[in-house]
Every structure is written in C-alpha cells, then in structure tokens.
Amino acid sequence: MTVSDAHILVLDDDPDVACAVQLLLRRRVRRVDTLADPAELDGYLRDAAPDAVLLDLNFRPGRTDGAEGMDVLRRLQAQARPAAVIVMTAHAQVALAVEAMKRGASDFITKPWDNDRLLEALTDALARQGGAASTPRHPLMGGSAAMRKLRALIEHVAPTEANVLVLGENGAGKELVARALHDASRRAGRPFLAVDMGSLPEATIESELFGHRRGAFTDAREGRTGRFVAAEGGTLFLDEIGNLPLPSQAKLLTVLERREVTPLGADRPHAIDVRIVSATNLDAARLRDPAVFRPDLLYRLNTIVIEVPPLRARRDDIPALLDHFLTEYRRQYGRPHAPLAPGVLDALVAHDWPGNVRELRHACERAAILARGADCTLADFGVGHDAPVSHPAAPSTVGLPLRQLGAMEKDAIGAALAQARGNISEAARLLGLSRAALYRKLEKHGL
C-alpha cells in the first residue's frame, strides 16, 4: 500500500501533536483521523479500519511507564486486520519504544520528530503491511557506476560485524547507507537508532548515549535509558560524529573498547551488543587532525570506510531521481503531470546541487506545488537566475483592518515556507514562532 492510499489514525492527547501530524499528512494520505483518549478507540474501530496508527505511549498526566500505550498496542493487534503501529515517544522513553517494537509495533519516532523521518517510517510500515516487506526499506537510487559500486560495497560489508564510517557531504544520503547496512545485516530484526551528534548539547551527551539514573544530577527526576542500551542487538548510527567534543570522544572510545556502558549515577556497567555505524561530512584532512578528532577513536570507527558520492559526481542519476520525486509529490499533492519545459532538464543536470539529493528532493516538491503552466520551468524548481527569492516581510501594520492583517500573516507564512523549502522548523525560526504556534497558524489559514 502507498501512503497516498492510506487511512491513518493519530492517537495522542497533545492537541499540538495531533494538529502537526494532520497538517503534515492531510495532503499526503487518503484520510487522517485523531483521537485524544484511548477509551474512544473501541468505538472508533467499530466504524473504521485504519491502515496505520501513530501511537503515543502515555496519556494521563504524570504517567511515564507506557502501560496505556502498550494496552492500546495489544488491542490494535487483536483486530481482524491489525493496523501497522508507529510509536511516538520522548527521547527519555526510547527503551519503552523498543519494547513496543518487540511486542509488534512496526517502528518508532522520537518527539520532536523530523518530518522526513516520520514519512519514511510510515511509508515503510505501510509497505510491510501490504506484504512488500521484501522490498528494500531505503533504496539507494541510481544506475550510475558510482551508485552500482556503492550498493555492491554495502552488500559485501553489511553481513559482517565491522564498524563502518560513512563519509559524504550533507544531503548525499549517509543515513540511507547506514540503514541499508542495517537492513542487509543479521541485526535487521533489531532496533536501528540514529543519533545526530551535532544536535546534542555537550552537557547532555553522556546522558543521551549512556543513560542516567534518577537523581544522578539536579534535573534527573527520572531515569533515562541511553541509546547504546536501547539499540541492544541492533545498530547505533552516530551521525555527524565529527562534531563530538574531544572530552566526549574519550568517553565514547572507552565504551567501544570495553563494550559496556555505565549510566550516570550507576554503580555497575552494562554490557552492550551493538554495531556502530558513524558518519561525518568532515574531509579526510580535518578528520585526521588530532585537534579535531582523536586518532585512536578514528581507528575504532573506520574498520570499513564507505564514501557516498555527491550528486554532481553522478549526474547520470539526476533524470531518474527527478522523475521519481516529481511523481511522488504530484501524487501526494494531487497535482497533474506537467512536462519539463525545453532546456530545464539540461539545466538541472548541469546544476551542482550543493545540498545533494536532499536539495533535489525539496526542489521537486516545490516544483510539484508551484507549477501552474503547461510545463515546469526552472523557476518552479527554485534553481537558476530566474528563480524568485522569497523573504518573510514585516511591514508596518498600524491602522490596517483585521482582514488585511490576516492576509499579510498568511503571505508571510507562505514566504517563510518557500524560503525554508517546506521545513517547518526553519520556517518557524524565520518567523520567530515555535513549531506548535506555526502549526496552529497553518491550520488557521488552510496552508
């Protein structure tokens, strides 16, 4: 089953979460419903049969044990045609999400989530629900010699237990490589956890990776299972490992050498069984600079090195990628097919794509939404000198009627979304709003 044909249920008591998921999915799926109370589930299921459920684990205030969510999971699996279940949880409850997967959940995402990650999890869960589990989860598209070589190397390395270091530019597909390694390994049935090392504050790195006990430090009101323990038996993907501070590198090295972690505040170490795949966009010279990265840690991580080619090094793949992404987004947004205007394909193939496949994908989404004529122009993709540049404006609003103020707000939000290429977090930053506030305004203006 494809995402566009799916009926999705969101079961979460947080109205901001429900609103955010609805806004993300409403143009991408056939139907999306929300429930705030698990007590309403049985009545809902008498009249509806969702294909997938996005499920929170805790509902009543103060509950953190996940028992309510686990009960809902059990009830969903008891249905004649069980829905695929994707658990939504906070970082501190990753261990609960892993337990939910052991009990039949398809996948989990952590709040606040990345929209691409949520859509990816949903696409995969629906594919498996439809009997397509044998299809690779994260296909690395492209028939160029560089991509054929990359896929062959992954196929050769994946069944081993060797640590792998993935090198490549931002947006080139390093996480896709990590997931492909996991999916083709003996650990495929166990968790795959990704940690963006560049986004972790230095003060919380140890807690995130190794966990902590309640009371281990001032704000430790409850214990946390670290990512190493949560990924037990599976693969831990340490993305942007080059951003890890040197003191934290020393602690990570100790864990890899001893194959055990000691949570903050604990007396005894915990043995771990995980495969480490790491990635960085640092070039070789920076990575081998001892002032940036410890050589002994590098030797632990780079048993196998896989380099992901930038898109400009495999331009032969661009036409197929364009066709794939344009078809996907036109279906999601209900847009008609529009051929590329003369010269557009050559211009897109010649473009250097500094953001690589990620930039190309967002450009295709933009083109699918903005194309109004008989064909797609270069401006629709936001590429080239004729592409318009949008900037959120903040003109004076003194004395303007409310209707005009509302129109200006809608225009500013639209401009911010265009500038951020649909990235909600970036658009919220440009507008000086929280994600939740922006989601409410998107709903208000029907964007």
The pLDDT tens digits of the residues spanning 28-65 come to: 888 999 999 999 998 898 888 899 999 998 888 777 78
Q: Is the pLDDT of residue 128 over 60?
A: yes
CATH 3.40.50.2300 fits 3-129, yes or no: yes
Q: What is the pLDDT of residue 314?
A: 94
pLDDT greater at residue 384 or residue 274? 274
Q: What is the pLDDT of residue 115?
A: 82
| Mean local confidence (pLDDT), 206-223 | 70
Please give the CATH topology (third level) of the domain spanning 313-381: Helicase, Ruva Protein; domain 3 (1.10.8)
145-309 has the same fold as 3-129? yes
Choose among 64, 106, 108, 109: nearest CA to 83.
106
Amino acid letter for position 96: L
The predicted-structure confidence for 378-430, as pLDDT tens digits, reads as follows 999 988 654 444 444 444 444 445 455 566 677 778 777 767 666 676 777 77
pLDDT above 90 coverage of the chain, percent: 37
C-alpha triplet 408, 413, 419: angle, nearest 5° = 125
Q: Is the pLDDT of residue 211 over 90?
A: no
Q: What is the pLDDT of residue 130?
A: 58
Domain boundaries, the chain: 3-129, 145-309, 313-381, 402-445
Banded model confidence at residue 443, pLDDT cuts 50, 70, 90:
low
Banded model confidence at residue 140, pLDDT cuts 50, 70, 90:
confident
Contacts of 183 (CB under 8 A, 6+ apart): 136, 137, 138, 158, 192
Q: Is the pLDDT of residue 114 over 70?
A: yes
Q: Is the pLDDT of residue 122 over 80?
A: yes
| Mean local confidence (pLDDT), 281-301 | 91
Q: What is the pLDDT of residue 328?
A: 85
Q: What is the pLDDT of residue 406?
A: 62
Q: Is the pLDDT of residue 83 over 60?
A: yes
Q: Using CA atoms in the order 178, 180, 184, 188, what is the torsion angle rounded to 10 degrees?
A: 70
Of 38-52, 87-101, 122-136, 308-322, which gets the smallest average pLDDT? 122-136
Q: What is the pLDDT of residue 435?
A: 67
Q: Is the pLDDT of residue 294 over 50?
A: yes
Of 93-107, 142-156, 339-353, which gets the smallest average pLDDT? 93-107
Q: Which CATH architecture fits 145-309? A: 3-Layer(aba) Sandwich (3.40)
- pTM (predicted TM-score): 0.64
Q: Is the pLDDT of residue 87 over 80?
A: yes
402-445: CATH number? 1.10.10
Q: What is the pLDDT of residue 154?
A: 94
Amino acid letter for position 299: Y
Q: Is the pLDDT of residue 165 over 70?
A: yes
φ, ψ of residue 109 to 5 degrees: the values are: -130, 150
